[in-house]
Amino acid sequence: MTANMPRALALVLAALTACTSSAGSSTAAPSPSRSALPTTERPVAVATSAVTRGDPLRCTARIEIAPVPDVFEGEWAPDSRRIAVSYIRLKPSRENVTGTEEDQRLAVIDVVSGAVQELGQGSEPKWSASGRLLAYWMDDLDLRIAEGATIIARFRPTEPDVRWIGEELLFWQGPEIRAWSAAGVRTVSRVAAGDEPRYPSDDAYFSADGELFTITRYGPGATERRLLGTTATGATTPIGTADTRFVEWSPRGHTLLLRSADTVTLRYDDGRTVSERRSALPGVVHAWTADGLLLFGSVSPTVPAGDAYDRFTVWGGARSGETATLPNLYGIRAFSPNGAYFAGVSRTGVRSSQLEIYRCSATWETDLAADEDVRARARKIAGDPLKLIRPTAGAYTSYVQRDHTGIDVAGPYGSLIYAGNDGVVTGVGVHPFGGNYVCVTQPDGIELCTYHNSVPLVRPGDRVVRGQPIALIGMSGITTGPHTHWEAKVNGEIVDPLAY
């Protein structure tokens, strides 16, 4: 159960203990390519209706953008008009039974002008505060920093997560937190002996403002221990309970979300906490607004996705109870920093997808019921003899071959995992190596299981439909990075889910 993402080759990363910055020598990046699209934002050519501008959390106006297939992650630039996306492109491979490999590529899209800049191989993009610099990972395990079309630095942190604070980039190098800038690299702090994060046995994430960090230590099954640290000093303290399965920072400040299977807790910037039982929330799926409000709601089945609007509710804080209207996209599901756009992906086939962006607080609204693109995508999926949809927005990194019993689908930590087909939840539990899992059995007897989850979103006995969220991607059990191990059985025997 492995995931061969750039950040997931643990044995190599764990051995890297020295920063090898090459800021002094610039390397030319691939030349940008351009896509000729209109230079002003406009709705797609489908039925729309006029609405009253003013609701910033109503994102219901789909806009025309350059076609980008199979996007699995994205990062908005601070100017809120560009988005850096990682997408999949097939290339030949002699290593896989399919004869192909899903190569992870990087592009920057200007949603206003329509310009597209191809950056070549890469994933996990992060923008500096000015939007002038972009950090991203390469398959050769280098973290690269690009300024336009030029690579100005490359080095090898020992943890995948990095965080820009202004034009300075925080990263881990063994037990040290360091900061890269154009002026060089400095050491910020050092954690105590025994607290050093060792990826992928551990992972670490910086808060949005860089003031705090979390370290999660993974063990067999669902054994996990979490630390909350201060970046400036490296001091840590335990956080969460034995039941905590997921932590995530708000996109603003250092508010922290902690989730277990049954409880949700918010730890605010001032240290106050508020908790609620999952059963009391308006849904099991969460999202963050641009200004750091936490939303909860339900996502309509994502087949074909982008075919319905879902209602979410703000939970916690002074604005608790306010509502948001969001398209049922999957994958990225993120607001731009100014809240003007909402990005995600829709399905163009059983296992293919496309990037979509919706305008929030617009004067028009896309009528999805009359959208021929939605109808065409639904017809294509319905007519495909293959029925098991790709379970998450992510790249296939391992296949059913030799001693590997499933398909590894690598995606960002916390991404939604979806039911591959209609069925009944027949298992929610813990596997010694696979960690937290969810199993769904179809009416025809095929059992589909996803492993290494963080939080399950369903319970045994629940009836689910194809494309319904069932869990969040995690790193539980023994794993080499965030992914889901997608496994299928017929009469107890392993089969290849890609054949169904």
- For 279-312, what is each residue's pLDDT tens digit? 999 999 999 999 999 999 999 999 999 999 999 9
CATH value of 395-499 in 2.60.40.420, 2.70.70.10, 2.60.120.380, 3.10.20.580? 2.70.70.10
Query: How much of the chain exceeds pLDDT 90, in percent?
Result: 84
CATH homologous superfamily for 9-381?
Answer: YVTN repeat-like/Quinoprotein amine dehydrogenase (2.130.10.10)
What is the C-alpha to C-alpha distance for residues 294 and 277, in angstroms, rounded to an integer?
15
Mean pLDDT over the full length of the chain: 90
- Higher per-residue pLDDT: 33 or 340: 340
Cβ atoms of 256 and 270 closer than 8 Å: no
pLDDT of residue 342: 98
Cβ atoms of 418 and 391 closer than 8 Å: yes
Examine the pLDDT at 38 and tell me if it is beyond 60. no
What is the C-alpha to C-alpha distance for residues 160 and 73, in angstroms, rounded to an integer?
15
pLDDT of residue 281: 97
Burial of 335: CB neighbours in 10 Å, binned 0-12, 13-18, 19+: buried
pLDDT of residue 340: 97
Average pLDDT over residues 195-214: 96
pLDDT of residue 1: 52
Res. 46 pLDDT band, cuts 50 70 90: low
pLDDT of residue 50: 60
- For 52-101, what is each residue's pLDDT tens digit? 566 899 999 999 998 899 999 999 999 999 999 999 999 999 888 888 99
Query: How much of the chain exceeds pLDDT 70, in percent?
Result: 89
Res. 433 pLDDT band, cuts 50 70 90: very high
Cβ atoms of 355 and 110 closer than 8 Å: no
pLDDT of residue 43: 55
pLDDT of residue 219: 87
pLDDT of residue 7: 40
Average pLDDT over residues 102-109: 96
pLDDT of residue 44: 55
Q: 487: Cβ–Cβ under 8 A, 6 or more apart, which residues?
A: 405, 406, 407, 448, 449, 450, 451, 494, 497
pLDDT of residue 267: 97
pLDDT of residue 140: 64
pLDDT of residue 32: 34
pLDDT of residue 324: 97
Q: What is the DSSP string of 85-106?
A: EEEEEEEE-SSSTTSEEEEEEE
pLDDT of residue 30: 37
Domain boundaries, the chain: 9-381, 395-499
